[in-house]
Amino acid sequence: MTDTPAARPVQSNTPPADPAPPATPPPGTAPPPAAADPLRRSRTSALWIGVIVFAAVLVLLLIFILQNTQPVLISYLGATGEVPLAVAMLLATAAGILLTAAAGSLRIRQLRRRLPRRRGH
């Protein structure tokens, strides 16, 4: 068999075409709508996850309360009384959360006052 021009494959000097790159918006423009991804996260899905976590915490809290029902003597600023242990611990936790939230809120307010106000927003 002889190597004739008709028998040889045609070679091209141009490289093979690359597939089209993904379309990306130019910098500074809004991203395309998320309609392409029907399973994207949304506020409703975040709310649903929050409800599930909240329900799990409530179940754990109920178990804690049911297992700690023995009465304890509490004295605070001259007032004295008996309450279940779980209630006393939950009241102390709630007071701690409120103090932390108050301190954090004051700090956030302080930082917001220090930021320069932007016009038009």
The per-residue pLDDT for range 88-103, each reduced to its tens digit, is 888 888 999 999 999 9
Residue 102: the pLDDT is 94
Phi, psi of 117 (to 5 degrees): -80, 135
Using a pLDDT cut of 90, give the percent of the chain over it. Answer: 25
Q: What is the pLDDT of residue 61?
A: 87
Q: How confident is the model at residue 48 (pLDDT cuts 50, 70, 90)?
A: confident
Alpha-helix residue ranges (DSSP H) falling in 8-115: 43-67, 85-114
**Exposed e or buried b for every residue in 89-102, given b needs 16+ CB within 10 A?**
ebeeeeeeeeeeee
pLDDT of residue 23: 59
What pLDDT does residue 14 have?
Answer: 63
User: Domains of the chain: which residue ranges?
Assistant: 43-114
Determine the average pLDDT of the residues in 68-73: 90
**pLDDT value for 39:** 72
Residue 66 pLDDT > 70: yes
Residue 120 has pLDDT above 60, yes or no: no
Mean pLDDT in residue range 73-93: 89
User: Which pLDDT score, from 0 to 100, does residue 101 have?
Assistant: 93
Question: Any idea which of 34-48, 66-80, 107-121 has the lowest mean pLDDT?
Answer: 34-48
